[in-house]
Amino acid sequence: MTVRSLRVLRGLALLAAVFAFGVVMFGAFVRLSNAGLSCPDWPTCYGRVSWPEQQHEITQANQAFPDRPYETHKAWREQVHRFLAGTLGTLVFALALIASWRRPWTRYAVIAGAIFAAVGVSLYIKGEHYRSLWLSMLAIGLPLITAIGLKRPGAWRISVLALAVVVFQAMLGMWTVTLLLKPIVVMGHLMGGITTFALLAYAALRFAGVGANDDYYAGLRKAVVLGIVLLLAQIALGGWTSSNYAALACGTDFPKCLGQWAPPTDFREGFVLWRGIGVNYEGGVLDMAARSAIQIAHRIGALVVFCYLAWLSHRVSRRGLRGQGLAMAVVLVTQVLLGISNVHFGLPLPVATAHNGVAALLLFTLLATLARTQRRHDSAMFHTFGTR
């Protein structure tokens, strides 16, 4: 691989990471504006590549889907989100292909995975769902096996792994529609987007040479990894809160809930992950006690994460990584203030969308800190690979 190719790889990883952040933000906007089912089919929208715009197209759409009348102000949001996700998939495929190009079998496995994914979508549109599912599984498995077997530093393997995650994320997007906003799928779709962003961001950091010359910061590594795990768990809990329409289950009270410190709750009902198929979850199906339980769990999780990350930012700063520690602290406080504002102001769309975006930025500060604690193996390899 030439030095020029390595520069392309580095730039493409950065572009894909930034684009993934934008897709996460726009996806939050779509979900929070209740536009998740505004296109009742997938990947088309009322049978169209874009969405109905002319009056006769809208009439045909309403006739084809009488149970889901066309909403002009929502359908474009869902379909634009799909276009953005498709563009991100193309960027990730290009990144994975360059990262795996050195050996023929890894190169062909990545190409085959992309072909299987494209054919799977085509079969799904034709109604051949089982064949589509098998091809999609192959499309996930091939880059996953390639990433495991790739004899290269971590950033290269992560770049290929991201392709498997993107294909699975597309399947979750499909199931979000076909399973009528089932909470476990909606939450999984959110986590898939966050995972894609995290993988691409970490790969971009490592390709950029972020790291240490020695193991001086190795003692911080486990603490940072635990912070990442706790934050991902809290993001998942936030997704569960959103997908069950429990964000305002406590009204606009904070820190109390419905004017009480201990309101009626039903944690068992609130955390049932699977409720069968055929239920339309738009608007939520849980009673107030179950939703309150979810909201309280989210608040407790937020408190735990806040305390841990506040301590971690202090520890990181004390070890000499003041920039990383300060960034972590600033983004953490911003996220908490946005969460409280969501409740106090009744979940305004801009604030709720920003709450999702800042969660991703907080994750990025942790990933940047983790990369800084790693030895600079990847950047040291650039010249080695560049001469072969």
- Specify which residues 375 forms β-bridges with: 212
pLDDT reported for residue 381:
47
Q: Where are the domains of the chain?
A: 1-208, 216-388
28/35 Cα distance (integer angstroms): 10
Which of the residues 53, 57, 78, 128 is marked catalytic? 78
pLDDT reported for residue 2:
62
> pLDDT by residue (tens digit) across 168-197?
999 999 999 989 899 999 999 999 999 999
pLDDT at 278 over 90: no
pLDDT at 1 over 50: yes
Terminal CA-CA length for the chain: 6
Q: What is the DSSP string of 251-319?
A: TT-SSSBTTBSS----HHHHT-----SS---TT----HHHHHHHHHHHHHHHHHHHHHHHHHHHHHHHT
Rounded to an integer, the average pLDDT of 360-376 is 95
DSSP 8-state symbol, 277? S
Band of residue 72 on the pLDDT scale cut at 50, 70, 90: confident
DSSP SS3 for 182:
coil
pLDDT at 385 over 60: no
Rounded to an integer, the average pLDDT of 81-109 is 96
Rounded to an integer, the average pLDDT of 381-385 is 44
Peptide bond into 43 cis (omega under 30): yes
Band of residue 212 on the pLDDT scale cut at 50, 70, 90: confident
Q: What share of the chain has pLDDT > 90, as a percent? A: 87
- 43 contacts 82 by C-beta, under 8 angstroms: yes
pLDDT at 383 over 90: no
Which has more pLDDT, 381 or 202?
Answer: 202
pLDDT at 386 over 90: no
pLDDT at 222 over 60: yes
pLDDT at 3 over 90: no
DSSP 8-state symbol, 387? T
Q: 280 is written with which tokens?
A: 């339309």
Does 78 qualify as catalytic in the annotation? yes
294/298 Cα distance (integer angstroms): 6
134/186 Cα distance (integer angstroms): 22
DSSP 8-state symbol, 40? -
Band of residue 276 on the pLDDT scale cut at 50, 70, 90: confident
pLDDT reported for residue 267:
97
Band of residue 387 on the pLDDT scale cut at 50, 70, 90: very low
